[in-house]
Amino acid sequence: MKSKPEKITELHDYLAYWLHRQSDSVLKKFERTLAEYGVTHAQWYVLITIYHQDADTPQSIAKRIDIDIGSVSRVIDRLVAKGLLVKRPHAEDKRSVFLELTTDGEKVISTLAAIARQQEGEWRACLTETETKAFGAALYKLLEAQGIQPTGRLWTKFRT
């Protein structure tokens, strides 16, 4: 039997594998919570983006959350059908619409945001403040190296 070349390392030697495992674990737990409210993680991204007024049209949401416009449009249609969003005519661009949360949408996103903060606190609880800062700074650097520009208040303390 032929031996494998030494320079190829096993799966568990790749940091990317472990980053994926951590991300997958956190996301799956949150997805179970979202499912209790009839929301998917893609719908959560759209709802929280509109809630924080980071974007209010399908095009601006697609850009903000880095998802293609077709996928965002389908997510928006589902949220409208669920009564969590409404579309308003765009005065300047007849091909576009403004998006607003309904009262039910505001209630759902408020509840889910609190749960998201709680769950993030739970998985970060094993880290000291120093470790959290070091992890954030390293992750920020890795994202930038991949051409991804982290945005949001979270990253202000990690920028070098």
Tell me, what CATH number does 55's domain have? 1.10.10.10
Residue 5, pLDDT > 70, answer no
Residue 118 lies in domain: 11-126
Residues 57 and 112 in one domain: yes
Query: What are the tokens at 140?
Result: 């920020």
pLDDT at 153: 83
Q: What is the pLDDT of residue 1?
A: 63
Q: What mean pLDDT comes out for the span 21-35?
A: 95
My answer on whether 109 and 81 are in the same domain is yes
This prediction has a pTM of: 0.84
118 and 154 part of one domain: no
What's the Cα-to-Cα distance from 78 to each of 3, 44, 86, rounded to whole Å?
53, 12, 11
Which parts of the chain are beta strand (E)? 85-89, 97-101
Same domain, yes or no: 15 and 84? yes
Q: Which residues lie closer than 8 Å to 98 by C-beta, 6 or more apart?
A: 56, 57, 87, 88, 89, 90
User: In 3D, which of 74, 76, 38 has the Cα closest to residue 56?
Assistant: 76
Is 51 a domain residue? yes
pLDDT category, 146, cuts 50, 70, 90? very high
Q: What is the mean pLDDT of the chain?
A: 91
Q: Are residues 114 and 100 in the same domain?
A: yes
Number of structural domains found in the chain: 2
